[in-house]
Protein backbone atom coordinates (compact mmCIF):
# COMPACT_ATOMS: atom_id res chain seq x y z
CA UNK A 1 0.00 0.00 0.00
CA UNK A 2 1.68 3.21 -1.13
CA UNK A 3 1.26 6.77 0.08
CA UNK A 4 -1.31 7.56 -2.60
CA UNK A 5 -3.54 4.62 -1.62
CA UNK A 6 -3.35 5.57 2.03
CA UNK A 7 -4.30 9.17 1.31
CA UNK A 8 -7.16 8.08 -0.93
CA UNK A 9 -8.50 5.64 1.65
CA UNK A 10 -8.20 8.06 4.54
CA UNK A 11 -9.60 10.85 2.38
CA UNK A 12 -12.73 8.84 1.57
CA UNK A 13 -13.25 8.03 5.26
CA UNK A 14 -12.77 11.68 6.28
CA UNK A 15 -15.16 12.80 3.56
CA UNK A 16 -17.84 10.38 4.83
CA UNK A 17 -17.34 11.66 8.38
CA UNK A 18 -17.29 15.33 7.38
CA UNK A 19 -19.95 15.51 4.69
CA UNK A 20 -22.37 12.64 5.29
CA UNK A 21 -22.35 12.11 9.08
CA UNK A 22 -24.35 15.29 9.85
CA UNK A 23 -27.09 13.93 7.58
CA UNK A 24 -27.20 10.44 9.09
CA UNK A 25 -30.59 9.25 10.28
CA UNK A 26 -31.28 10.54 13.80
CA UNK A 27 -33.64 7.66 14.50
CA UNK A 28 -32.67 5.17 17.22
CA UNK A 29 -30.74 2.11 16.02
CA UNK A 30 -32.07 -1.45 16.23
CA UNK A 31 -31.07 -2.11 19.85
CA UNK A 32 -32.26 1.31 21.08
CA UNK A 33 -35.58 0.86 19.30
CA UNK A 34 -36.12 -2.58 20.83
CA UNK A 35 -35.10 -1.27 24.27
CA UNK A 36 -37.63 1.54 23.92
CA UNK A 37 -40.44 -0.68 22.64
CA UNK A 38 -39.85 -3.41 25.20
CA UNK A 39 -39.47 -1.03 28.11
CA UNK A 40 -35.85 -1.52 29.18
CA UNK A 41 -34.36 1.66 27.73
CA UNK A 42 -34.29 3.34 31.16
CA UNK A 43 -31.89 0.64 32.41
CA UNK A 44 -29.30 2.25 30.15
CA UNK A 45 -29.95 5.68 31.55
CA UNK A 46 -27.50 5.19 34.37
CA UNK A 47 -24.43 7.36 34.78
CA UNK A 48 -21.89 5.92 32.35
CA UNK A 49 -18.99 4.04 33.91
CA UNK A 50 -16.66 6.48 32.19
CA UNK A 51 -17.38 10.03 31.13
CA UNK A 52 -16.28 10.47 27.55
CA UNK A 53 -14.89 13.73 26.18
CA UNK A 54 -17.21 13.81 23.14
CA UNK A 55 -20.43 12.01 24.12
CA UNK A 56 -22.83 11.01 21.35
CA UNK A 57 -20.58 12.20 18.53
CA UNK A 58 -21.08 15.89 19.22
CA UNK A 59 -18.40 18.29 20.46
CA UNK A 60 -19.65 19.81 23.68
CA UNK A 61 -19.94 23.57 23.29
CA UNK A 62 -20.31 23.57 19.51
CA UNK A 63 -23.74 25.09 18.98
CA UNK A 64 -24.24 24.15 15.36
CA UNK A 65 -25.37 20.54 15.48
CA UNK A 66 -24.01 19.62 12.06
CA UNK A 67 -20.61 21.16 12.80
CA UNK A 68 -20.52 19.40 16.20
CA UNK A 69 -21.14 16.03 14.52
CA UNK A 70 -18.83 16.58 11.57
CA UNK A 71 -15.93 17.67 13.78
CA UNK A 72 -16.48 14.70 16.09
CA UNK A 73 -16.46 12.47 13.02
CA UNK A 74 -13.17 13.91 11.82
CA UNK A 75 -11.61 13.48 15.27
CA UNK A 76 -12.76 9.86 15.56
CA UNK A 77 -11.71 8.95 12.03
CA UNK A 78 -8.20 10.31 12.61
CA UNK A 79 -7.88 8.64 16.03
CA UNK A 80 -8.88 5.17 14.78
CA UNK A 81 -6.70 5.63 11.69
CA UNK A 82 -3.69 6.27 13.94
CA UNK A 83 -4.68 3.56 16.42
CA UNK A 84 -5.28 0.94 13.73
CA UNK A 85 -2.03 1.69 11.93
CA UNK A 86 -0.06 2.00 15.18
CA UNK A 87 -1.38 -1.25 16.59
CA UNK A 88 -0.70 -3.06 13.31
CA UNK A 89 2.84 -1.68 13.38
CA UNK A 90 3.37 -2.92 16.93
CA UNK A 91 2.04 -6.37 16.10
CA UNK A 92 4.20 -6.52 13.01
CA UNK A 93 7.38 -5.65 14.93
CA UNK A 94 6.85 -8.49 17.36
CA UNK A 95 7.67 -11.23 14.89
CA UNK B 1 -26.19 -2.49 18.48
CA UNK B 2 -23.64 -0.95 20.83
CA UNK B 3 -24.78 -1.99 24.32
CA UNK B 4 -24.66 0.89 26.85
CA UNK B 5 -23.82 0.59 30.55
CA UNK B 6 -26.77 -0.66 32.58
CA UNK B 7 -28.24 -3.18 30.12
CA UNK B 8 -26.02 -6.03 31.27
CA UNK B 9 -25.36 -7.38 34.75
CA UNK B 10 -21.81 -8.00 35.97
CA UNK B 11 -22.38 -11.75 35.68
CA UNK B 12 -22.76 -11.22 31.93
CA UNK B 13 -20.40 -8.36 31.14
CA UNK B 14 -17.63 -9.76 33.35
CA UNK B 15 -17.21 -13.03 31.47
CA UNK B 16 -17.68 -11.16 28.17
CA UNK B 17 -14.75 -8.90 29.08
CA UNK B 18 -12.64 -11.96 29.82
CA UNK B 19 -13.57 -13.58 26.50
CA UNK B 20 -12.81 -10.38 24.60
CA UNK B 21 -9.38 -9.89 26.19
CA UNK B 22 -8.34 -13.52 25.68
CA UNK B 23 -9.83 -13.53 22.17
CA UNK B 24 -8.08 -10.32 21.14
CA UNK B 25 -4.80 -11.76 22.37
CA UNK B 26 -5.38 -14.76 20.11
CA UNK B 27 -6.33 -12.49 17.18
CA UNK B 28 -3.14 -10.46 17.66
CA UNK B 29 -0.94 -13.56 17.81
CA UNK B 30 -2.55 -15.09 14.73
CA UNK B 31 -2.60 -11.83 12.76
CA UNK B 32 1.06 -11.16 13.60
CA UNK B 33 2.11 -14.34 11.83
CA UNK B 34 0.18 -13.39 8.68
CA UNK B 35 0.58 -9.63 8.62
CA UNK B 36 2.30 -8.38 5.49
CA UNK B 37 4.01 -5.00 5.40
CA UNK B 38 1.46 -3.44 3.08
CA UNK B 39 -1.36 -4.47 5.42
CA UNK B 40 -0.06 -2.31 8.27
CA UNK B 41 -1.29 1.05 6.89
CA UNK B 42 -4.33 -0.69 5.40
CA UNK B 43 -5.41 -1.59 8.95
CA UNK B 44 -5.39 2.13 9.75
CA UNK B 45 -7.35 2.96 6.61
CA UNK B 46 -9.90 0.19 7.26
CA UNK B 47 -10.33 1.34 10.87
CA UNK B 48 -10.96 4.90 9.64
CA UNK B 49 -13.44 3.71 7.01
CA UNK B 50 -15.36 1.43 9.38
CA UNK B 51 -15.54 4.17 12.02
CA UNK B 52 -16.80 6.78 9.55
CA UNK B 53 -19.26 4.37 7.96
CA UNK B 54 -20.63 3.38 11.38
CA UNK B 55 -21.61 7.03 11.92
CA UNK B 56 -23.84 6.94 8.84
CA UNK B 57 -27.13 5.64 10.16
CA UNK B 58 -29.59 4.82 7.41
CA UNK B 59 -33.33 4.69 8.02
CA UNK B 60 -34.71 1.14 8.10
CA UNK B 61 -38.35 1.12 9.03
CA UNK B 62 -40.79 2.84 11.36
CA UNK B 63 -38.47 5.33 13.05
CA UNK B 64 -35.56 2.91 13.32
CA UNK B 65 -32.12 3.26 11.81
CA UNK B 66 -29.15 1.00 11.28
CA UNK B 67 -25.55 1.42 10.30
CA UNK B 68 -22.77 -0.63 8.81
CA UNK B 69 -21.05 -3.09 11.12
CA UNK B 70 -18.22 -3.57 8.66
CA UNK B 71 -16.92 -6.83 10.10
CA UNK B 72 -17.23 -8.97 6.97
CA UNK B 73 -15.92 -6.09 4.85
CA UNK B 74 -12.82 -5.69 7.03
CA UNK B 75 -12.28 -9.46 7.22
CA UNK B 76 -12.53 -9.99 3.47
CA UNK B 77 -10.11 -7.11 2.92
CA UNK B 78 -7.58 -8.00 5.63
CA UNK B 79 -8.27 -11.58 6.63
CA UNK B 80 -10.41 -12.48 9.66
CA UNK B 81 -7.88 -11.89 12.46
CA UNK B 82 -6.73 -8.45 11.35
CA UNK B 83 -10.38 -7.65 10.54
CA UNK B 84 -11.45 -8.51 14.08
CA UNK B 85 -8.66 -6.30 15.46
CA UNK B 86 -9.86 -3.40 13.28
CA UNK B 87 -13.40 -3.75 14.63
CA UNK B 88 -12.08 -3.89 18.20
CA UNK B 89 -10.03 -0.70 17.64
CA UNK B 90 -13.17 1.05 16.38
CA UNK B 91 -15.27 -0.21 19.32
CA UNK B 92 -12.69 0.86 21.91
CA UNK B 93 -12.41 4.39 20.47
CA UNK B 94 -16.21 4.69 20.17
CA UNK B 95 -16.56 3.67 23.81
CA UNK B 96 -13.75 5.77 25.29
CA UNK B 97 -14.17 9.00 23.31
CA UNK B 98 -17.80 9.02 22.13
CA UNK B 99 -19.67 7.08 24.81
CA UNK B 100 -21.05 4.80 22.11
CA UNK B 101 -21.29 1.50 23.95
CA UNK B 102 -20.63 1.42 27.71
CA UNK B 103 -17.26 0.65 29.27
CA UNK B 104 -18.75 -2.26 31.24
CA UNK B 105 -20.37 -3.57 28.05
CA UNK B 106 -17.24 -3.12 25.92
CA UNK B 107 -16.30 -6.78 26.25
CA UNK B 108 -19.78 -7.85 25.15
CA UNK B 109 -19.70 -5.40 22.24
CA UNK B 110 -16.31 -6.77 21.13
CA UNK B 111 -17.63 -10.31 21.53
CA UNK B 112 -20.73 -9.54 19.44
CA UNK B 113 -19.31 -7.40 16.67
CA UNK B 114 -15.61 -8.21 16.52
CA UNK B 115 -15.75 -11.96 17.17
CA UNK B 116 -19.25 -13.13 16.18
CA UNK B 117 -19.84 -10.46 13.53
CA UNK B 118 -16.34 -10.42 12.06
CA UNK B 119 -14.74 -13.83 12.71
CA UNK B 120 -18.11 -15.59 12.49
CA UNK B 121 -19.15 -13.57 9.46
CA UNK B 122 -15.86 -14.42 7.77
CA UNK B 123 -16.37 -18.13 8.49
CA UNK B 124 -19.74 -17.93 6.72
CA UNK B 125 -18.08 -16.10 3.83
CA UNK B 126 -15.32 -18.72 3.55
CA UNK B 127 -17.84 -21.58 3.43
CA UNK B 128 -20.02 -19.81 0.86
CA UNK B 129 -16.98 -18.94 -1.26
CA UNK B 130 -16.05 -22.61 -1.35
CA UNK B 131 -19.57 -23.59 -2.41
CA UNK B 132 -20.23 -20.77 -4.87
CA UNK B 133 -16.72 -20.42 -6.28
CA UNK B 134 -14.54 -17.36 -6.66
CA UNK B 135 -16.67 -15.88 -9.42
CA UNK B 136 -19.48 -15.39 -6.94
CA UNK B 137 -17.21 -13.88 -4.31
CA UNK B 138 -19.40 -10.80 -4.00
CA UNK B 139 -22.52 -12.89 -3.51
CA UNK B 140 -20.77 -14.84 -0.77
CA UNK B 141 -19.70 -11.56 0.87
CA UNK B 142 -23.22 -10.13 0.64
CA UNK B 143 -24.84 -13.17 2.24
CA UNK B 144 -22.15 -13.35 4.95
CA UNK B 145 -22.53 -9.62 5.64
CA UNK B 146 -26.29 -10.03 6.10
CA UNK B 147 -25.87 -13.04 8.38
CA UNK B 148 -23.10 -11.36 10.41
CA UNK B 149 -25.52 -8.64 11.53
CA UNK B 150 -28.22 -11.19 12.38
CA UNK B 151 -25.76 -13.35 14.36
CA UNK B 152 -24.26 -10.39 16.23
CA UNK B 153 -27.72 -9.11 17.16
CA UNK B 154 -28.70 -12.59 18.34
CA UNK B 155 -25.66 -12.69 20.62
CA UNK B 156 -26.71 -9.28 21.92
CA UNK B 157 -30.23 -10.61 22.60
CA UNK B 158 -28.82 -13.58 24.52
CA UNK B 159 -26.69 -11.29 26.70
CA UNK B 160 -29.77 -9.20 27.49
CA UNK B 161 -31.65 -12.39 28.41
CA UNK B 162 -28.78 -13.65 30.59
CA UNK B 163 -28.80 -10.30 32.38
CA UNK B 164 -32.52 -10.56 33.05
CA UNK B 165 -33.01 -7.29 31.16
CA UNK B 166 -35.69 -8.76 28.91
CA UNK B 167 -37.20 -12.23 28.46
CA UNK B 168 -36.07 -14.25 25.43
CA UNK B 169 -39.49 -14.48 23.80
CA UNK B 170 -39.73 -10.67 23.90
CA UNK B 171 -36.24 -9.47 22.98
CA UNK B 172 -35.18 -12.15 20.50
CA UNK B 173 -37.99 -11.76 17.91
CA UNK B 174 -37.80 -7.96 18.19
CA UNK B 175 -34.01 -7.82 17.68
CA UNK B 176 -34.18 -10.39 14.88
CA UNK B 177 -36.98 -8.52 13.11
CA UNK B 178 -35.01 -5.25 13.01
CA UNK B 179 -31.62 -6.75 12.20
CA UNK B 180 -32.74 -8.89 9.27
CA UNK B 181 -33.56 -5.51 7.71
CA UNK B 182 -30.40 -3.70 8.86
CA UNK B 183 -28.47 -6.68 7.45
CA UNK B 184 -29.76 -5.83 3.97
CA UNK B 185 -28.04 -2.44 4.26
CA UNK B 186 -24.92 -4.24 5.48
CA UNK B 187 -24.98 -6.54 2.44
CA UNK B 188 -25.47 -3.66 -0.01
CA UNK B 189 -22.69 -1.48 1.43
CA UNK B 190 -20.27 -4.41 1.80
CA UNK B 191 -20.84 -5.50 -1.80
CA UNK B 192 -20.55 -1.94 -3.12
CA UNK B 193 -17.28 -1.18 -1.32
CA UNK B 194 -15.74 -4.58 -2.14
CA UNK B 195 -16.62 -4.36 -5.83
CA UNK B 196 -15.11 -0.86 -5.91
CA UNK B 197 -11.84 -1.96 -4.27
CA UNK B 198 -11.69 -5.11 -6.43
CA UNK B 199 -11.97 -2.89 -9.48
CA UNK B 200 -9.37 -0.26 -8.54
CA UNK B 201 -6.96 -2.19 -6.30
CA UNK B 202 -7.70 -5.93 -6.32
CA UNK B 203 -4.28 -6.63 -4.78
CA UNK B 204 -5.45 -4.99 -1.55
CA UNK B 205 -8.21 -7.54 -1.03
CA UNK B 206 -6.76 -10.41 0.96
CA UNK B 207 -9.02 -13.13 -0.46
CA UNK B 208 -8.52 -12.15 -4.10
CA UNK B 209 -4.96 -13.50 -4.13
CA UNK B 210 -4.99 -16.37 -1.69
**Domain count across chain A:** 1
Confidence of residue B210 (pLDDT cuts 50, 70, 90): low
Sign of CA dihedral B28, B32, B33, B37: positive
Q: Is A46 inside any structural domain?
A: no
Which residues from chain A sit within 8 angstroms of residue B64, using beta carbons?
27-30, 33
CATH class of B10-209: mainly alpha
Its domain, for residue A12, covers 1-25+62-95
**Mean of per-residue pLDDT scores for chain B:** 96
* SS3 state of residue B193: helix
Which residues from chain A sit within 8 angstroms of residue B78, using beta carbons?
none
Q: What are the extents of the domains in chain B?
A: 10-209
For the segment B70-117, what is each residue's pLDDT rounded down to a tens digit? 999 999 999 999 999 999 999 999 999 999 999 999 999 999 999 999
Q: Is A13 inside any structural domain?
A: yes
In this prediction, does ipTM exceed 0.90? yes
Say whether B1 and A31 touch across the interface (CB within 8 A).
Answer: yes
For the segment B116-141, what is each residue's pLDDT rounded down to a tens digit? 999 999 999 999 999 999 889 999 99
* Residue B40 touches partner A, C-beta closer than 8 Å: yes
Which residues from chain A sit within 8 angstroms of residue B94, using beta carbons?
76
Predicted confidence (pLDDT) at residue A94 exceeds the cutoff of 70: no
Predicted confidence (pLDDT) at residue B209 exceeds the cutoff of 70: no
Residue B10's contacts (CB-CB under 8 Å, 6 or more residues apart) are: B104
* Residue A49 touches partner B, C-beta closer than 8 Å: yes
Nearest residue in chain B measured CA to CA from A18:
B52
Q: Is A53 inside any structural domain?
A: no
What is the structure's pLDDT at A50?
A: 86
Higher-scoring residue by pLDDT: A50, B178: B178
Predicted confidence (pLDDT) at residue A26 exceeds the cutoff of 90: yes
Say whether B37 and A5 touch across the interface (CB within 8 A).
Answer: no
Residue B90's contacts (CB-CB under 8 Å, 6 or more residues apart) are: A80, B47, B50, B51, B54, B70
Amino acid sequence: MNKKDILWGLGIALLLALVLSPFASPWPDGLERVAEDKGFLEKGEVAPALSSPVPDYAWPGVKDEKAATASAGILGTLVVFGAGWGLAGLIKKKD
Amino acid sequence: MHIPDGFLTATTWGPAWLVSVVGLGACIRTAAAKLKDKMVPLMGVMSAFVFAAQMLNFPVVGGTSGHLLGGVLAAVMLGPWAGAIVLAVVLVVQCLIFQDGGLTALGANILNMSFIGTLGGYAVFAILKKILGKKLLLAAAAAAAWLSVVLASTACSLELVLSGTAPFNVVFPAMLGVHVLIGIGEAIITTFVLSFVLKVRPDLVEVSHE
